[in-house]
Chains A and B, each alone.
Chain A
């Protein structure tokens, strides 16, 4: 639990993430996702409650636990004057790498992120997508077991976003790294995660695999347009939806349930694709 003044940012949140999982934390801006990540990585201290890594209670002084964690913050917190390789080198030294091991890891991460040719370029001169990849490569440099990514694709165009998804899948599979990401893009959670947790107003409101969550309210949705209003009704199967459709004399669309429908059902809010829209 964590509050800022009178604002409760994370309220009685309790969950587990399993080794090797690609786990998504979905919710609108202001839901408490970043605060949760900051608590999990030791950047903030909880007012109440505890965090455990591999059963061991975590506090920011546990340096061995910090060694297990890689963090990709929401903003590209790179040293823009420094080159790509220098940004990585400093991170490596902070995490105890040195000499040949450090240089090999830098090379490996640059290759993995397709940034080898940009090694001597100032980080500030990279494109948005490359900067994002560099921040991720930096987080991977010390071979963390758990990678936290806070809104990893914010600000990226659709092409770069898709490429980033593929990159994150590779990290999860090839690096055998548990990936914990927050996002407000529903399709991102749906496409990437094995398990999704939905957060709103500082609370967890649902958790499960995307398929489990989608089947909660029904597999099919009828979108019923009444003038400028849109109502959605949920049905266990297509036949039930079709039976209902026949009773209506207005514009109707039948489709499969999406995570956004689940979110709407649970919160009454719509997460738009755009940044900051709720």
Chain B
């Protein structure tokens, strides 16, 4: 398969799907859905091919694709993957396919919905595959518009407010990030947007710090890192199920990925210096997010805040600057995508049946809908980090990584972070107690259990949660070479160089 531009195909297959859907009259609902499903399935197949051809022992960037000419302004079409981006691409391809499966019965304007969903997928995949900063930015922003429409057309009651808040919040972050990117371009010699070339250049420390702050502004809003998290609960709660799945599953990861792909290799001094300043808001994310989640009576809001808490672990692991921490961060990104994606799918399924998300209005689901209730319990246990399931492996690695961090403060931070784990277990168990167990309210007498299609799109996630929980090396072997290499390069450049 030498010379086959597989990455471009992965990134642009969904876009082709979007264009095909736009050509079909909107009354042909079935063919629209079929095209969307096919486009997403082909993307997933190609990503799996990429996974099997990927040389896991090689820490360098592979499958590089580069156009020989510049698009203008020094921008190049330049794609590639390494062990950090590959899991994200797999996750994106998988979750989008499942999100399409979950939206199969959508009746309200399916044409626009699936077109936007696929456009969003191209944007997300592009972010993880680009090696050119402007290309990265273009894909990064490409996700905004479809997500805005997904939330504001197909969302719940307060959708317009949530959509505009999401759009303005993230755009603010990303334009400041763009200025950081421009500064990198003009202060590198020769001027370049090429990420690989930029990692080799040595910028003066002060410059690194300024650019780091500008870039972090964009990344931190996306993660979201405390105190930039306020858009998240609104957007997640008001978005339609597919939108929430992709928001929590992928879009949040883009922020953390940005830190890893751009800030860490290009601005090592600044990253080293500011890492403790990331660890503290990360800790607040973990503990505060968990406490707020516990206070929610809305099931979806609870899951949304649990995302804030879980993303805190990603940032904490990364900020520790240890090999275990960074591996744990990427692993946790992947696991959180799978687990939270599943939880949002489940919340969507419950809402479809009960037309409520209020925890107090539910109860006794286990007696009425055992399969659904069983999977909810499974997802909750995975999310609270039960050993043997994937949620545990990521968080555990992040904690180990941060506990072994260089500065003594990391030991304190990690110890406090364990509170977050306890709280997480508390609110999930309370949720299970009130939703799955207890007495079935009379309003839910007619509830039906999952059908085959619904089970089908949950099974891959269940499978992944068990496999990674039992044998995390499947993913870690992918991540470790690349993350160790970048960490070593960074440490030698900052400390001994």
A and B together in one complex: no
